[in-house]
Amino acid sequence: MFNILFKVNYYLNPGTGSLIVQLIAAGIIGSIGILIKVFWARIKAFFKGEKYVPQQVEATDPVIEETEINE
Amino acid sequence: MNDLERIGSSFRDPSGFLFKRDGVLYRQVNTSYRKAYDHLISSGLYDALVTSHKMVAHSDTNEPPAEPDRAYKVIQPELMPMISYPYEWSFSEMKDAALLTLEIGRMALQKNMILKDASAYNIQFLDGKPILIDTLSFDIYHEGQLWDGYRQFCQHFLAPLALASLVDIRLMQLMRVYIDGTPLDLASELLPGKTKFGTGGLNIHIHMHARAEKRYAQSEALPTAGVKMDKASLLRIYDSLEKTIHPLKWEPAGTEWGNYYNITNYSDDSLKKKGEIVGKFIEQIAPKTAWDLGANNGLFSREASRRGVITVASDIDPAAVEQNYLAIKQTGEKNLLPLIIDLTNPSSSLGWFNAERESFFERGPVDLVIALALIHHLAISNNVPLDSIAELFSELANWATVEFVPKSDSQVKRLLATRKDIFDQYTVEGFEKAFSTYFTCEQKESIPNSERILYLFKKK
């Protein structure tokens, strides 16, 4: 399994809390981007007088594997 | 016998370190960093950064390593004319250093490398622009990797900028107390409540960050083991940090010195003459380096810098230094570095062994000290004896251009208006006598339409 915390060449202690916030930050920033995209599609559809058809949004949010963050 | 000296700030990163041999600065790259170093060069990242003046250039050398057992190679970095530290930078210097770090982070990712740290001490200023001086700041990027430098970036750049912008510019001085940047819990406590809501960058990168650090400070199990983050998410974090920093502004309100040249008793003509005399002195002695102490916005520092003299324009006032830096940015002037220095309490040596950050004076001596309209502030506002001022200047430089401002001058009258005049030595004669202990007077000229006198002193 890919394990980020025990890779070679670490000299800074990134800090667990810091890593978690990074994930949250990436998630929050990411989901806002997605929300606006969806919303924008709705607005466009409204003005064009079309019916809004939701599209599959490709998620590029952080992939959290085999771990549960209990915050 | 070779004179070998390891540089006091260069010990944390196992990738390599700086050393001096016979006065020349080298960087040893260790074998543990071989792969990353080779990738830096072969990927074109080094060339991209150096040609865009974002990172210092270096040359390969056959110089023997300082620690042969773990050496991969020795490189010779281009020298910075003057080293400065974040607690000496003005707001915009700090902001530009922060934005450069993020930009470099992005460029690195394009070449499949990642900034492994984000230390403000890795940034220096050259010809009015920030530049990365640590060639070994990059690791090979592994898909899924998180950013180890994230916390350091927030402590070294984001927190001081946010505090300066939203609370008080003087809080940038916290960098002097905390060697690894402003603690996030302290920044969180000091920042205004309005930054604590929603998905604002400061809420995430400072407030939530501080809470998470506290929550996981004691945890032995690592809940992030096995967690991945894709490259796009990493880039979004850089973007988010940049978007958080961009709107942070600092505009000095009601500064004491910012408009100094508009409120002095100098006429335009006298100012011009003063500049001409200073310029003439500089041409006469042709220095390579100069420190203009109490330089305000650098009006007279430019008499040196535009003649090719590497010049530091230091002042106690963050507004004047900011104004100076913004002017340099706008005009693209070279050879001039504005720094915030309180001459009555200049930057001391800091960190491990008191050797990681050099004191301001350790970064001298220089060829010329310029001290214009400064003596009365030191002697009268700070009670420094005139011969102590002369002694200091003689330690800092071989030459000094000093302006004497007599008691009859309105600026000195203003300083004396609220206190008892205990300065019976503060006369032209007393001044010349004090300086004669350490210097010989080479030139002396009165500034027209004022009672002030300019001196050119040569160290004895």
B53, B77, B101: which is the final residue of a domain?
Answer: B77
CB-based contact B152 A16, cutoff 8 Å = no
Chain A closest CA to B348's CA: distance in Å? Answer: 25
Rounded to 10 degrees, what is the CA torsion of B427, B433, B439, B445? 40
Q: Are residues B450 and B311 part of one domain?
A: yes
CA-based nearest residue in chain B for residue A61: B233
Tell me what pLDDT residue B259 has.
Answer: 58
Nearest to B226 among A33, A60, A66 (CB): A66
CB burial of B233-244 (b: ≥16 within 10 Å; e: otherwise) equals bbbbbbebbbeb
**The CATH number of the domain where B428 resides is what?**
3.40.50.150
Q: Do B72 and B91 belong to one domain?
A: no
**Backbone dihedral region for residue B123 (phi beyond 0: left; psi -120 to 50: alpha; all else: beta):** beta
Residue B309 falls inside a structural domain: yes
Asked whether the predicted pLDDT for residue A33 surpasses 50, the reply is no
**What pLDDT score was predicted for residue A24?**
80
Reply yes or no on whether the pLDDT at A29 is more than 50: yes
Contact residues for B309 (Cβ-Cβ < 8 A; gap 6+): B282, B287, B288, B289, B290, B335, B367, B368
Residues B278 and B310 grouped into a single domain: yes
* Poorest-pLDDT segment among B98-112, B258-272, B292-306: B258-272
> How big is chain A, counted in residues?
71
- Check residue A66 and give its pLDDT: 38
pLDDT greater at residue B61 or residue B10? B61
Are B302 and B430 within one domain? yes
Among B161, B157, B180, residue whose Cα is nearest residue B171: B161
Q: What is the band of B125 on the pLDDT scale with cuts at 50, 70, 90? A: very high
Whole-Å CA distances, B163 to B166, B174, B182: 5, 10, 10
Most confidently predicted of B9-18, B193-202, B403-412, B437-446: B437-446
- Cα(B151)–Cα(B117) distance, integer angstroms: 9
pLDDT digit string (tens) for B67-96? 999 999 999 999 999 999 999 999 999 999
> pLDDT value at position A19?
83
Asked, for residue B255, whether it belongs to a domain, the answer is no
Q: Decide if pLDDT at A61 tops 50.
A: no
pLDDT band at A31 (very low <50, low <70, confident <90, very high): low
Work out the angle between the directed axes of helices B231-245 and B91-110 (0-180°, nearest 10): 170
Query: Is B271 in the same domain as B225?
Result: no
Strand partners, B453: B404, B446
Distance CA B368, CA B271 (A): 21
Which residues is B17 bridged to in the sheet? B28
Give the range of the structural domain holding residue B69, as residue numbers without chain letter: 13-77
The pLDDT confidence band at residue B65, using thresholds 50, 70 and 90, is: very high
The shortest CB-CB distance from B117 to any of A12, A25, A71 is to: A12
Domain count, chain B: 3
> Is there a contact between B199 and A26 if contact means CB atoms under 8 Å apart?
no
Q: In chain A, whose CA is at the least distance from the CA of B218?
A: A16
Residue A2's pLDDT band, with cuts at 50, 70 and 90, is very low
The CATH number linked to B225 is: 1.10.510
- Answer with the one of B193, B219, B245 that is the final residue of a domain: B245
B321 lies in the same domain as B455: yes
Please tell me the predicted confidence (pLDDT) of residue A59: 41
Amino acid at B22: D
Q: Do B68 and B92 have their domain in common?
A: no
> Choosing among A2, A3, A6, A16, which should be mutated to test the B contact, i.e. which has the most B CBs within 10 A?
A16
Confidence of residue B229 (pLDDT cuts 50, 70, 90): confident
Q: Do residues B284 and B402 share a domain?
A: yes
CA dist B114 → A4, B45, B233, B397 (Å) = 14, 11, 13, 42
